[in-house]
Amino acid sequence: MSEKSWGGRFEQDLDAQAAAFSASVDVDKRLAPQDIRGSIAHARMLGARGVLSAQDVERIVSGLTAIASEIESGQFVWDPAAEDVHMNVEATLTKRIGEAGARLHTGRSRNDQVATDMRLWTREACYASCARIDALLSVLCVRAQQHLSVLMPGYTHMQRAQPVRLSHHLLAWCEMLERDRGRLQDAARRMNLSPLGSGALAATTFPLDRAQSAKELGFDGVTHNSLDAVGDRDFLVETVAALANCAVHLSRIAEELVLWSSQEFGFVQMSDAFTTGSSMMPQKKNPDMAELVRGKTGRVVGDLVSLLVMLKGLPLAYNRDMQEDKPPVFDAFDTVDASLTVLAGSIASARFDAARMRRALGEGFVDATELADYLAAKGVPFRSAHHVAGRLVKTAFDAGKTLAQLSLQELRAEHAAFEADVYLALDPEVAVERRALPGGPARSMVSAEISALRDRLQARGVDSQAIATRFGVITEP
């Protein structure tokens, strides 16, 4: 990291275009709260070790606290010439309190300073994103409870496959989101070591107490290698990879909302508050928010690629390329957080058409597997039963009938094992209830999963009903 602006070696000012090209304050000023917290912890540690006087520490802490208040209120004036957030804060502090401010950087480099700031910021951002995931989970939990009795076709290859519960499908979305939350939690835990005290690359000769500053900043401990500590950004790669995975999941959810809200499906009516019209066609009601969630996924994937490409050829330790870590990280969090919030609102206000879903169960032969299972339960080898069911599907298709409309005589023409009770097996409610295995769509299993999700949220301090109410979850007839 260049120290040209305040080093003694250089006789010529930095070229104006080079200065503008290298300035990062417009981006990294977002780190100001973390930067100031880190500086306060560093100053207090230096005071405890006798490196700074008590008077200097008091002036530094007081000055930094005042700067933090000004930044929070928007009164602080950022100077692009000061290059980055670190120098803006330090230069302002030194201007106000004199030499005490110039002593703050004792035993510290901007290399370990920015590494610390990024860990602090990213750790907090992970927790904030987890809270937004919990909000979306809360909405889905309440909506799943509302629609426990609603049946719909499940799909494979975008073809109607077997009957399931709408709640079961909503809980499938929850499973994806729970894994995303877990990945962010894991990333936050793994990054929670303090680089402060690593210096530029080889630590420092001053008697720092790294454990003290780490504890004050909420870290679990300190990093173990100064070269790695200042050159490491894989904690950002891991985090943005988790965000990219989450964005892909949100895109898949959004895609299903787009499909379901089409006239071809008609499974859901999106709220006016989360749709837009057409500039030309007055009848249109476009699911634009879901489409934007789907589209913005590419940005988050691009943020991950940007980080990986930036790091792939860097030698240890710090290199100025790493200045480019912040835009993709900030963008990934901003994009995923916004997508989580808009999807929560979209799903909370959507109206599901239970009757349309039920009618869809009567088309596409979603009960064909029930015929095969029926025969298999009577001792017919499943592959043979599968073949019989397939031939009956063709028979029904050619006759313009459903499987349930075939006569017992037509069924027995394919296999003598069919009895009158086969029609009970073809009832969608019976078909779903027979799948009473853990993870299955039977009412008891789905109801238990809804309760388990609610309990998990409650254990995390989340009131799912209150959050769903805040998002305006509607009550459908």
Tens of pLDDT along 138-179? 999 999 999 999 999 999 999 999 999 999 999 999 999 999
Structure confidence by residue, pLDDT tens digits, 93-107: 999 999 999 999 999
One domain for residues 102 and 124:
no
What's the rounded Cα separation, in Å, for the pair 148 and 234? 43
Percent of residues, the chain, with pLDDT higher than 90: 90
Residue with tokens 């943005």: 240
pLDDT for 1: 38
73, 157, 224, 279: the active-site residue: 157
309 falls within a domain: yes
- Strands 193-194 and 221-222, by their bridges, are parallel
pLDDT at site 2? 40
244: left (phi over 0), alpha (psi -120 to 50) or beta: alpha
Inter-axis angle of helices 166-190 and 110-146, nearest 10:
160
CB 45 within 8 A of CB 213: yes
Regarding whether 227 and 314 lie in a shared domain, the answer is yes
The total number of structural domains that make up the chain: 3
φ and ψ of 161, to 5 deg? -120, -65
| Domain annotation covers residue 122 | yes
Structure confidence by residue, pLDDT tens digits, 49-78: 999 999 999 999 999 999 999 999 999 999
Q: Tell me 15's DSSP state.
A: P
Residue ending a domain, choose from 332, 354, 376: 354
132 and 31 fall within a common domain:
no
7 located within any domain: no
Annotation marks residue 157 as catalytic: yes
87-91 average pLDDT score = 97
Least confident of 87-91, 268-272, 274-278, 346-350: 274-278
User: Is there a domain that residue 443 lies in?
Assistant: no
One domain, residues 342 and 391 = no
Could you tell me if 27 and 133 lie in one domain? no
Percent of the chain with pLDDT over 70: 98
Q: How far is CA 142 from CA 146, 339, 459, in A?
A: 6, 19, 17
> How crowded is residue 262: how many other Cβ atoms within 10 Å of its Cβ?
12
Q: What is the CATH number of the domain that holds 279?
A: 1.20.200.10
- Tell me the residue range of the domain where 403 lies: 368-425
Sign of CA dihedral 89, 90, 91, 95: positive
pLDDT in the model for residue 7: 60
Q: Which residues, including other chains, have CB under 8 Å from residue 338's CB and lie 6 or more apart?
A: 296
Could you tell me the pLDDT band of residue 22, with boundaries at 50, 70 and 90? confident
Task: Check whether residue 407 and residue 280 sit in a common domain.
Answer: no
- Together in a domain, 141 and 253: yes
Q: Which tokens belong to 260? A: 């379901």
Residue 435 maps to a domain? no
Per-residue confidence at 477, pLDDT binned at 50, 70, 90? low
pLDDT (mean) for 219-242: 98
Mean of pLDDT over the chain: 95
Q: Are residues 330 and 182 in the same domain?
A: yes
The answer on pLDDT for 312 being more than 60 is yes
Range name among 10-24, 152-166, 202-216, 255-269 with the lowest pLDDT average: 10-24
Tokens in use for 255? Answer: 């895609």
Angstrom distance (rounded) from CA 335 to CA 346: 16
Averaged pLDDT, 110-130: 98
Number of neighbouring beta carbons within 10 Å of residue 379: 8
Q: How many CA atoms within 13 Å lie on the side-chain side of 146?
A: 22
Reported as a pLDDT band with limits 50, 70 and 90, residue 3 is very low
- Which of the residues 2, 69, 149, 278 is marked catalytic? 278
Average confidence (pLDDT) over 445-473:
96
Instruction: State how far the Cα of 44 lies from the Cα of 54, in Å rounded to an integer.
Output: 9
Q: Which two tokens stand for residue 201?
A: 């690359």
pLDDT at 4: 47
Name 182's Cβ contacts closer than 8 Å, sequence gap at least 6.
Answer: none
Q: Is residue 457 part of a domain?
A: no
DSSP states along 304-353: HHHHHHHHTTPPSS--GGGGGGHHHHHHHHHHHHHHHHHHHHHHHH-EE-
CATH number at residue 93: 1.10.275.10
Q: DSSP code of 273?
A: G
Same domain as 403, residue 335? no
Is 73 labeled as catalytic in the residue annotation?
Answer: no
Q: Angle at which helices 110-146 and 443-459 pack, to 10 degrees?
A: 140
Q: Whose structure tokens read 């009550």?
A: 475
